[in-house]
């Protein structure tokens, strides 16, 4: 499967392809999941997004091999959770997805930091990293809510059957950008601390990335040109 996808996922277009699937999943899944008959499509979109994310991981130092090995149990447990085939599969699924997102965040951050030239693919990689951070925290919120349903409350949580992860992905993106609509609110100190940490990461990410891009651009402009 990965060899088949890899044909369409060269180094130049890896992050571009991943960005397309991330945007389709994040913005399309809320509409699709509203219809129970189409919920399978939303789950398939997430699975495809995870598959394309592993292909964006660099091959050096076996990073991609490790990511592929980690992805397999993630997908298995995720689909077992969808059909409720084993007890506590949701807790395990959310835990493995969160760990997988954490691996992607570290890998993508290393790849971006090693880039020497500002390219469109690098911009796509940066946006992918930002969105993956949001999905990572969304999974953490969903995991905490699964452990303690009183950790969060709000109108958006009144009916989350089959849509829990999608709802918390929305809440995560709102928190990451510090919009704070108030339709979902933390109700425990641990939940509040998790939200605070994400808001700080969101602001820090924006400040550092902008400064890094500007610094690289200025350094490139000041570099003496060869005759």
Q: Where are the domains of the chain?
A: 2-222
Q: pLDDT at position 136, please? A: 97
pLDDT at 24 over 80: yes
Mean per-residue pLDDT of the chain: 84
Q: For residue 8, what pLDDT band results from cuts at 50, 70 and 90?
A: very low
Give the DSSP H or E segment for 186: strand 185-186
Question: Tell me, what's the pLDDT at 7?
Answer: 47
Q: What pLDDT sits at residue 37?
A: 75
What six digits make up the tokens of 96? 């493995």
Note the pLDDT of residue 191.
95
- DSSP letter for 185, please: E
In the CATH hierarchy, which fold is given to the domain comprising 2-222? Helix Hairpins (1.10.287)
In the predicted model, what is the mean pLDDT of residues 63-87?
Answer: 83
Give CA–CA dist 169/91, Å, rounded. 16
Cβ count near 74 (within 10 Å): 21
Residues of the chain with pLDDT > 90: what percent?
42
In angstroms, rounded to a whole number, what is the distance separating the alpha carbons of residues 79 and 2? 18
Task: Give the CB-side neighbour count of residue 190, counting CA atoms within 13 A.
Answer: 10
**Per-residue pLDDT tens digits for 195-208:** 999 999 999 998 88
Name, in order, each residue with C-beta under 8 angstroms of 127's C-beta and a sequence gap of 6 or more. 19
Dihedral pair phi/psi, residue 185, rounded to 5°: -135, 145
pLDDT of res. 219:
66
pLDDT at 227: 44
CA gap 49, 19 in Å, rounded: 9
Neighbours of 184 (CB within 10 A): 22
């Amino acid at each position: 499967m990965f060899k088949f996808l890899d044909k369409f996922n060269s180094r130049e277009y890896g992050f571009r392809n991943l960005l397309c699937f991330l945007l389709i999943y994040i913005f399309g899944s809320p509409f699709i999941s509203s219809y129970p008959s189409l919920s399978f499509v939303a789950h398939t979109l997430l699975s495809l997004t995870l598959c394309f994310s592993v292909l964006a991981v660099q091959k050096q130092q076996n990073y991609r091999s490790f990511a592929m090995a980690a992805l397999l149990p993630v997908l298995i447990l995720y689909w077992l959770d969808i059909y409720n085939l084993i007890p506590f599969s949701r807790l395990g699924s959310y835990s493995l997805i969160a760990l997988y997102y954490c691996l992607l965040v570290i890998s993508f951050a290393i790849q971006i930091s090693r880039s020497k030239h500002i390219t469109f693919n690098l911009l796509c990689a940066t946006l992918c990293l930002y969105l993956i951070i949001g999905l990572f925290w969304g999974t953490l919120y969903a995991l905490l809510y699964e452990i303690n349903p009183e950790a969060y409350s709000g109108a958006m949580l009144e009916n989350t059957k089959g849509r829990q992860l999608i709802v918390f992905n929305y809440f995560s993106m709102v928190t990451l950008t510090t919009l704070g609509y108030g339709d979902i609110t933390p109700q425990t100190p641990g939940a509040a601390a998790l939200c605070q940490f994400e808001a700080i990461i969101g602001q820090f990410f924006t400040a550092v990335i902008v400064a890094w891009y500007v610094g690289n651009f200025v350094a490139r402009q000041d570099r003496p040109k060869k005759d």
